[in-house]
Amino acid sequence: MKTVLITGCSSGFGLEMARYFLERDWNVVATMRSPRTDLLPASDRLRILPLDVTNEASIRQAIEAAGPIDALVNNAGIGTAAPVELLSMDTVRDVFETNTFGTMAVTQAVLPQFRQRKAGVVVNVTSSVTLKPLPLVSAYRASKAAVNSFTETLAAEVATFGIRTHIVLPGRAPDTRFGENGHGRMHGFDHEAYAPIAQQLMASLTDASAPITKVEDVNEAVWHAVTDAHAPFRIYAGADAKAWAAE
C-alpha cells in the first residue's frame, strides 16, 4: 500500500486531498501547522503530523516521523493581495517563506529517499494566476511563479533517478476558505487611487456566472499526477484554469 504526504491539510484543497486519497486506500500523512484530529475520519491508514514548512527543524522531524513515502504533495500556501505601492515587505517575505521556500525545503527533505529508491512523485500545487497578470496579487503570483520555475528545473535534475515531478494549477475556488484565511494580508483596497481597480477585481471574483475551480477538480488533478506515470508535467485544475491555459 502506497503512502502520500500532503502539506497544508487543515483546510481547503489539502484537507480534501487527504480525504480523497484515504477513500482510495492510500496511506496518508496529513500535515498541519497546528494538528487537529477532528477534521478527517479516523483510520489506521491516516497519520496527522505537525509541520511548519517555514521551520527547518519542523520539516526534519515531520519527514523522519513519516518514514518512507511514495509521493509528496506540496499544497501548503497563503495568499495576499495589495497594490505593489502599498505592499508590506514583511507580508511579501511571509508569503515567499511559505509558498516558495517552504515548498523547496520540504521537497529537498524527501529527495534523498526518492533518489535512493529510484522512485517517487513530487506534486507542487501552484495557481492559475501565474498564467496571466492580474492586479493586486503581485506577491502571491510571484511566489507561485517561482515554484513553477523551481519545479521545471527540479524535473530536469531528478528524472534520471526515476522521480516524477508535476505542477497542478488550480483556478479560483470560492468553496474553500483560502480567501478568508488571507483576509488579514489584504491591504489598500480602499485607497483612493486603487479602489476602482480593487472594485473591478472583486466584481470579477464574485461573478456567479464565471467558471470556477471545485475541490473535486484539484483532487482529480493531483490524483492523476500521483498515480499516472504518463500524466503531463502541468495539469490545469478547474474550468477557469483550463480556459486561461487555452488563451
215-227 vs 12-23: helix axis angle to the nearest 10?
60
Cα-trace Rg, the chain = 18
Helices (H) and strands (E) in the chain, counts: 9, 7
237 contacts 169 by C-beta, under 8 angstroms: yes
Terminal CA-to-CA distance of the chain, rounded, Å?
40
Unique residue bearing C-alpha cell 529510484: 118
Phi, psi of 17 (to 5 degrees): -60, -45
- Sorted by sequence, the CB contacts under 8 Å of residue 22 that are 6+ apart come out as 28, 40, 41, 43, 45, 46
Give the global pTM.
Answer: 0.94
List per-residue pLDDT tens for the chain, 247 residues long.
899 999 999 999 999 999 999 999 999 999 999 999 999 999 999 999 999 999 999 999 999 999 999 999 999 999 999 999 999 999 999 999 999 999 999 999 999 999 999 999 999 999 999 999 999 999 999 999 999 999 999 999 999 999 999 999 999 988 765 555 555 667 778 888 999 888 887 777 777 788 999 999 999 999 999 999 999 999 999 999 999 999 9
Residue 122: Cβ-neighbour burial (10 angstroms; 0-12, 13-18, 19+):
buried
**CA-based nearest residue to 30, from 60, 54, 55, 9:** 9
CA contacts within 13 A on the Cβ side of 25: 1
Domains along the chain with CATH numbers:
3-246 (3.40.50.720)
Helix or strand or coil: residue 215? helix
Res 175: pLDDT: 79
How far apart, in whole angstroms, are the C-alpha atoms of residue 206 and residue 208? 6
Q: What is the reported pLDDT for 39?
A: 96
How many Cα neighbours within 13 Å face the side chain of 91? Answer: 20
Catalytic annotation, residues: 140
Q: Determine the pLDDT at residue 178.
A: 54
Copy the grid coordinates of residue 96.
515567499
Give φ, ψ of 12 to 5 degrees.
60, -140
Question: What is the H or E stretch that residue 224 is in?
Answer: helix 215-227
At residue 187, φ and ψ (nearest 5 deg) are -140, 155
